[in-house]
Structure 1
Amino acid sequence: MSQQTPAGGQWNSGHASRNVPRHEGAGMAHGGTVFAAVLLSLSGALGILQGIGAIAEDDVYTRVGNYVFEFDLTAWGWIHLILGIVVLLTAVGLFKGANWARAAGICLAGLSVIANFLWLPYQPWWAITLLAIDVFIIWALCSSWSHTTE
C-alpha cells in the first residue's frame, strides 16, 4: 500500500511502525553517489601521484608565472600527497555507504578545489581538470544525500 507524500513521492511502508518516503529519482541519486565515490578515489590517487612527483623531482613541474600565493614545490608535494591519501581513504568509506564519508567527501573535495586552484601556476590544465572533477563530486554527494530519519 503506497500513499502520496507532500513532496510528490510515494511512501514506502517496509515496516508497519514507520513510513520512509521513496522518491522516483532515488536510483539515479545512488548512481551519482557511486560515481562520485569512483571520482573521489580517482582524485585521491591522482593527488598521491601529483604529490610524489612534486616531492621526488623539483624539475617535473615548472611555474607559469608569478603569483601571490607561493609555496616551495616540496611543500605542495606533501600537501597533495597527504590530501590524496585522506581522500582515497574517504572514498573507501563512501563505497561502504558511511554517512561520515559523505560529509568528509564533501569537505575534502572542497579542500581539493582550493588546493588545485592554488596549484594553477604549476599545472594549469591538470588543475582545471581536477577542479571540475571536485565540483562534480560535491554536487553529486550533496544532491543525493538522504534526508530521512531512522
Structure 2
Amino acid sequence: MTAKKGGTVMTGVVVFAGSLLGVVGLVNVFQGLFALFSDERLVVTRNHLFVVDVTAWGWTLLISGLLLMAVGAGLLAAQTWARITGIVVVSLHAVIQIFWLGAYPVWACLMIALDVIILFALTVRWSGVREQLGRGDEPAWNGHDDGVPAAERRTTPMA
C-alpha cells in the first residue's frame, strides 16, 4: 500500500508507526494527568517511608505525550518533517522511560519495547523512498546551489 501525498511516501509501516505513536502519546497524557491530580505518593521501603511529589514528572509525561501525539498525527498526514522528528522524539521517550524502571519495571520495559518497534517502523523503509517518489535518477543534493536560480531549481512541494 503506497500512495504519494505531500511529497512523501505513505506506506503501511508509516501508518503503523503513526498510529502507535498516537496510542503511546495518549497513554503518556493520561499518566501525566494522573500524576498532576494525585501529586503525592507514599513510597515504602524496608527501612524508610518517603512522600514523593510527582508534579514535575506529571508535566514531563504530559508534554512528551502531547508531542508524541502531534508527531503521530504528522506521520498519518504524510508530513515530511514527522519522520525525522519522530525518530528524535521516540528516542528521547525511551530515555525518559528508563527513569521509570525503578518504580514500574514491567511498564517501563513495555514502553521501551514499543519505542524500539516505532523506531524500527520509522527507519526500515528509508532506503527506497527516493525511488518510490520517482526521483531515484537524480543525484543527491550536495548542499550547494551550483549557480542555478531559485526559479529553475527543483524543489519538493510543501504540504
- Partner of 1:131 in structure 2? 112
Shift in Å, 1:126: 1.3
- Partner of 2:13 in structure 1? 32
Alpha-carbon distance in structure 2 between the residues aligned to 1:48 and 1:86: 10
TM-score (norm. length: structure 1): 0.69
Could you tell me which runs of 5 or more consecutive residues in structure 1 were left unpaired when the two chains were aligned. Answer: 1-25, 66-70
One-letter code of the match for 2:90? A
Q: By percentage of residues, which structure has more strand? A: 2
Aligned match of 1:75 in 56, 60, 64? 56
Q: What does 1:86-101 align with in structure 2 at a 5 Å threshold?
A: 86-101=67-82
Q: What does 1:38-77 align with in structure 2 at a 5 Å threshold?
A: 38-58=19-39, 62=43, 72-77=53-58
Cα pair 1:116 1:131 within 8 Å, conserved: yes
Shift in Å, 1:58: 3.3
SS at match of 1:119: coil
Bigger radius of gyration: 2
Cα pair 2:41 2:54 within 8 Å, conserved: no
Q: By percentage of residues, which structure has more helix? A: 1
Alpha-carbon distance in structure 1 between the residues aligned to 2:23 and 2:88: 16
Alpha-carbon distance in structure 2 between the residues aligned to 1:62 and 1:138: 34
Aligned match of 2:100 in 92, 116, 119? 119
Taking structure 1 as reference, are residues 100 and 63 closer, same or farther at Cα in structure 2, changes over 3 Å only? farther
- Partner of 2:151 in structure 1? none
Give the aligned length: 118
> 4+ residue runs of structure 1 moved beyond 2 angstroms?
58-65
Shift in Å, 1:122: 2.5
Cα pair 1:41 1:88 within 8 Å, conserved: yes
One-letter code of the match for 2:32? G
Aligned-pair Cα RMSD in Å: 2.6
Alpha-carbon distance in structure 2 between the residues aligned to 1:72 and 1:101: 34
